[in-house]
Structures are given as structure tokens and as C-alpha cells.
A = this chain, B = another copy of it.
Amino acid sequence: MRLSDAETPRLLLDPDRLQRNIDVMAARCAELGVTLRPHLKTPKSVKVAECAVPDKAGAITVSTLREAEAFAEAGYTDILCAAATAPTKLAHADRIQRATKACVILVTDSVALVEAVDAKANELGATFDFLIEIDCGEHRSGVQPVSPELLAIAGALNQSNALSLAGVMTHAGHSYALDDPEQIADLADVERAAAADSANALRAEGHDCRIVSVGSTPTVLFARHLEGVTEARAGVYLFWDLAQYSRNICTLDDIAVTVLATVIGHNRAGRSLVLDSGALALSKDDSSNTFAPDTRYGYLCDAGTLERLEGLSVDKVYQEHGIVPVPDETWFDRLPVGAQVRVMPVHTCMTCAAYDAYDVVRDGEIAESWPRVNGW
């Protein structure tokens, strides 16, 4: 289907940009000497996974068990579910492991949870590998590096017949608050040390610690080295977005997903265009605005060339309407009612979540539809 015939809003994916982003991050992790374990919470798509990790024995990261299930059914076997688990999630994880060849690696930062999970795993007759989450300074979750709590959790895992310690993980999510490469590199070293030192502390107590996992796209890109780390997690690099652009982590030419939208009205008194893409189609995330206030809810681009329509952003969103102020009336001729535009997303993980599928664009046509795995 030609783009110009397509009903909107819809989520478009540029496969050449995706592949370039994949190649850049693969080269970067090779340079750092670590395994790349892509975080597929961004694309939530088996087809994208197959581009990023063609070898299905390769390591991947997910944020939900529904993602884990879809990737396991597609043949992936080494799946880290990177948000802390809970007893009610174990039956689902167990079903995935029994129905496929996958190992679903779980995460915790709590002795109480290990005890509850151990009881549940025994009830299910299941076994699970665990990573212990370390707080490297974001203060969202995780135990302090090299802390008594770290060793206590390892001890609790060690006492369980059903559960095994596979290693440690940490996430420098506070890197998203920075836009300076030197500061990000400094933070990457804090993240690295938190994981590596914790792994060494566990090994000193006789624990196995085969996985030492760090990551956030910015820290992986700007780390000076990753000594003591075995693998890096990153997700948003696959598609990029204005939140990363606003922090100087990517360029506009790297952004691989956009929303195809249609002009459904001209508000001449308010000097604005009305799009059929609003809060649901774009999301209400405005996290790019800290560093780039003009990004608002997304930059407008030419639907064909993906060149930015200079100065135009979606300024306001309603459930199904997006409002685009225009600097002068010529825009009503340049973008008549019925015209299409593409909107670069503020936060690609949030925007993509509204769609069932990516429409893959080749030579101005929608060549394929790649399904997403939303929900829990």
C-alpha cells in the first residue's frame, strides 16, 4: 500500500535506520568487549528481535512475561525479564519455560521475595535463575552495591533448591537526566563499578556470578570501558526518539519510528493545524522537553522525505486530536486538509505501545506489518 492511501494514525518503521542503529550498537559492544543483551521492551516485536539478535541463542531482555512468552515461542532461549518479579508471576514464567527451550531469568532485590518465590517454585515444581538488582544511584530499586543485603539475598537463593543465583544487574536510568557525554561517561563508570564490585563481593563469598549486567543506552554508548562487566542492556537505541535527541545521544536521522498522521482541520483563527493523532497515537510523554522545549509532543516531518517541517511540533494533545501551531497562513496551503505528515515521537517506548504493529516502509510503500506484543 502506498503511504498516501493509508488510513491514519499508524506507526511506521524505517528498516534501514533500524539496521544502522543495530549495527552501531553491536560494534560498540564488541569494542567494549561485552555481550549486547538488547532490551526488547522498546520494540516488543519478534521481527525486530530477529534483526537485532539473529542468533536465537543470543541474549535478550524483556520487561513483561507476555514479551518473554512471545520471544520464547519464536525460539529465543536466553531471556532476562528485567523488572523485579512477584510470586503471582511465577506460574506464567514456569509455563513459558516448560513450553519452550527458554530460560526466563528473573530479578529481585528482596530476601522476603526470594522466600516467597522459593515456596511458590516448590509448589510448581519449577526452577528459576535469578539476578540480584543493584542500585547504582538511580534510587528506584535494587540493593546497595557490596552491601549486607546483597549477600543476604545471595544466601537465600543459595539455600533454595528451586532457585539459582546467576549474577547481578544494575540500571543507570538516571543517565537520562544528563546531556553531557563526559558526565554520562562518569556515570557509566559508577554503574560499571556497582555491578562489577558486587559480583566480586559475591564471588569472594563463594557464589557463582556468571552474569554481570549493566545498561541504559546512554551509558553503554559513552562508557570509557566496561571491565568486570559481562553484558550490556540497551533498548531505545533500536528506534531512538526526541527524548534521546534532546540529550545529544542521537540525531534526528537516527529516529526509525514515526507516526503517520493526517491533517483533519485548519483552525485559521487559532492559526493551527488539527491532526488525527493525539494523546493515544503519540502518548502524553513530554520527557524531551527538559532539554528541548520545542519538541512538545513531537516534531512534524514531511511524510515522504522525513525531513523536518521546520518549526512545526504537536503542541497540544487531546485523546484523538493533535494541535500544531503554524507561524503563518502559508502552511494552510502547504498542508491542506487531508494532507499527511509524520510525527517523530518524544518517547518511542510509550508511543509504540499504542499500536498493534509496525508498518515497515520501503520505497514509500508499506511493505510489511510486524506485530507488537503489548500488555502483560
Contact = CB atoms under 8 A, between A and B. Distances in A.
A131 to B, nearest CB: 14
Dominant secondary structure of chain A at its interface with chain B: loop
A30 interface: no
B375 A83 contact: no
Contact of A5 (B88, B283, B323): B88
Contacts of A108: 265
B88 A274 contact: no
13 contacts: A7-B89, A83-B264, A83-B320, A84-B276, A110-B266, A110-B337, A112-B338, A139-B270, A140-B318, A144-B269, A173-B318, A353-B354, A356-B374
B6 A88 contact: yes
A338 B264 CA distance: 47
A367 to B, nearest CB: 18
A259 to B, nearest CB: 10
Chain A, interface residues (CB within 8 Å), range? 35 or more
B112 A336 contact: yes
B269 A139 contact: yes
Nearest to A41: B319
A108 to B, nearest CB: 8
Interface of A: 4-10, 41, 63-65, 83-89, 91-92, 108-110, 112-113, 116, 139-141, 144, 173, 262-267, 269-270, 274, 276, 279-281, 283-285, 318-321, 323, 336-338, 340, 349-350, 353-356, 374-376
Contacts of A87: 338
